[in-house]
Amino acid sequence: MNQRTDPGTTTRADRAAITRLCELWSPLWNGETALAHQLVTEDFRIWFGAADGDPQRDLLRGPQGLADLVSRHLATRPGLTFAMRGDPVIDVEQQRAAIVWTASLPDRESGVDRVLGGIDAFSLRDGRFARCWSVTGARALEP
């Protein structure tokens, strides 16, 4: 990833590097959990807008915590897939990004996929995601 170094102690990601992180977020959530180690900081945190689901998810820290969460999430939802919709919104100066995503889950009874969407907003530190705020909607979002 292309990065430049500020006069301080942190490494700042350029637009191309942030875009690449955003592009790899869906493959991570599609089961490529080893990506967590290159995408997020050791103290990474994620917060979810939905109150349901895995009560341990708000407690996770770092790449392994994220990889474990993704594995648990996918294990309970066979066939679930994620895709980023459109281009990420990137603020290089503030080291922030946001993506719109769509998830598709096959309904085994009806044979019709359930489609929903969401928005993930990130802050970066040292060229990786340090924080994520994730909000899931009840239907697909169009960029």
Model confidence pLDDT, tens digit, residues 50-109: 766 666 667 789 999 999 999 999 999 999 999 999 999 999 999 999 999 999 999 888
More confident position, 143 or 127 = 127
Structure tokens at 29: 């959530």
CB atoms within 10 A of CB 30: 16
For the entire predicted model, the pTM comes to 0.86
Q: What is the pLDDT of residue 51?
A: 60
Residue in the structure block whose two tokens are 């990889």: 67
Domains (ranges, CATH) in the chain? Answer: 12-136 (3.10.450.50)
What letter does residue 77 receive in the DSSP assignment?
S
What letter does residue 57 receive in the DSSP assignment?
G
Kindly compute the dihedral angle of the four CA atoms of residues 119, 115, 68, 17, in this order, to the nearest 10 degrees. Answer: -40
The residues, ordered by sequence, that sit 6+ positions from 92 with a Cβ below 8 Å of its Cβ are: 12, 13, 14, 15, 18
Cα separation, 73 vs 57, in Å, equals: 10
Size (the chain), residues = 143
What letter does residue 127 receive in the DSSP assignment?
T
Phi-psi region of 31 (alpha: psi -120 to 50; beta: other; left: phi over 0): left
Pairing, β 40-48 against β 128-136: parallel
Mean per-residue pLDDT over the chain, rounded: 88
